[in-house]
């Protein structure tokens, strides 16, 4: 059984997509054992209640240092024997200590075609605002492994999405979610659960 821990900050639509694929049997032999948010009012924590998935809030401001916060997060997932950690709309940049505790066992979904519109300052609607301001015609989403950098880890899957002339950031965000994020993130988890993801240097090979 693949044990998954999920880190969230907001609405939890990517978490929901993964729960749905586990529950419909697309993703097999996999269980979400913990969902942790840095925000108490994250709707993602509301979503999990009907599935009896355990939720928890671990907030940076409850710790004296960033390192102590990351240690608390790390120790929580280690205590549960988590095999894979998914960042799903999570807006806290994790420390080297945390990342090194789970080598190539942390995934993230980013709402652009990395390396475009990513890194510090690019999250949520800010990504789509940048795409629109630049006049980009094709954007998309990326699933990648998390390393010590921000959005710099090996790319697992990407999916392109058309930008329409009258798009607002909100309209474009929804299209990228519907047409890309909610498909490629569960697919990446399925491939991982089936042990079909291999890393060669900075490249990810799907077998």
Ligand X SMILES: Nc1nc2c(c(=O)[nH]1)N[C@@H](CN(C=O)c1ccc(C(=O)N[C@@H](CCC(=O)O)C(=O)O)cc1)CN2
- Options 18, 36, 99, 176; binder of ligand X; rule CB under 6 A: 99
Q: In this structure, are residues 169 and 128 in contact, taking their beta carbons and an 8 Å threshold? A: yes
Known binding-site residue numbers? 12-14, 66, 108
- Options 88, 94, 114, 197; binder of ligand GAR; rule CB under 6 A: 88
The sign of the torsion formed by the CA atoms of 24, 73, 89, 203 equals: negative
Among 14-22, 149-157, 166-174, 180-188, the segment contacting ligand X (CB under 6 A):
149-157
94 lines the binding site for ligand X (CB under 6 A): yes
Helix, strand or coil for residue 104? coil
Among 49-57, 67-75, 119-127, 182-190, the segment contacting ligand X (CB under 6 A):
119-127
174 Cβ contact list (under 8 Å, min separation 6): none
The C-alpha atoms of residue 183 and residue 54 are separated, in whole angstroms, by 24
Count of all residues that appear for the chain in the document = 207
192 lines the binding site for ligand X (CB under 6 A): no
The C-alpha atoms of residue 115 and residue 112 are separated, in whole angstroms, by 8
146 lines the binding site for ligand X (CB under 6 A): yes
180 lines the binding site for ligand GAR (CB under 6 A): no
**Token code pair at residue 68:** 């102590």
Which residue carries 């821990």 as its tokens? 5
Residue nearest to ligand GAR (CB): 89
Q: In this structure, are residues 3 and 31 in contact, taking their beta carbons and an 8 Å threshold? A: yes
124 lines the binding site for ligand GAR (CB under 6 A): yes
**Token code pair at residue 49:** 């209640």
Q: What is the DSSP letter of 95?
A: P
- Options 11, 55, 60, 119; binder of ligand GAR; rule CB under 6 A: 11
Catalytic residue check, 110: yes
Q: List the catalytic residues.
A: 110
Q: Which residues bind ligand GAR (CB under 6 A)?
A: 8, 10-15, 44, 88-89, 109-111, 123-124, 127, 173, 177, 181
Q: Which residues bind ligand X (CB under 6 A)?
A: 87, 90-94, 99, 108, 110, 120-123, 146, 148, 150-151, 153
């Amino acid at each position: 059984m693949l044990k998954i821990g999920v880190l969230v900050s907001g609405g939890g639509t990517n978490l929901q997509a993964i729960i749905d694929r586990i529950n419909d049997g697309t993703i097999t032999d996999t269980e979400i054992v913990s969902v942790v948010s840095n925000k108490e009012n994250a709707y993602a924590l509301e979503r999990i209640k009907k599935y009896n998935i355990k939720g928890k809030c671990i907030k940076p401001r409850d710790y004296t240092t960033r390192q102590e916060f990351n240690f608390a997060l790390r120790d929580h997932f280690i205590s549960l024997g988590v095999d894979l950690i998914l960042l799903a709309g999570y807006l806290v940049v994790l420390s080297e200590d945390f990342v090194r505790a789970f080598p190539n066992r942390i995934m993230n979904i980013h709402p652009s075609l990395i390396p475009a519109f990513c890194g510090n300052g690019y999250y949520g609607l800010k990504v789509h605002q940048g795409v629109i301001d630049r006049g980009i015609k094709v954007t998309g989403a990326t699933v990648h492994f998390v390393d010590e950098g921000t959005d710099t880890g090996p790319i697992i899957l990407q999916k392109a999405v058309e930008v329409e002339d009258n798009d607002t950031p909100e309209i474009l965000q929804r299209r990228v979610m519907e047409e890309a994020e909610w498909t490629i993130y569960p697919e990446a988890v399925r491939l991982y659960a089936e042990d079909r993801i291999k890393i060669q240097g900075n490249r990810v090979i799907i077998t």
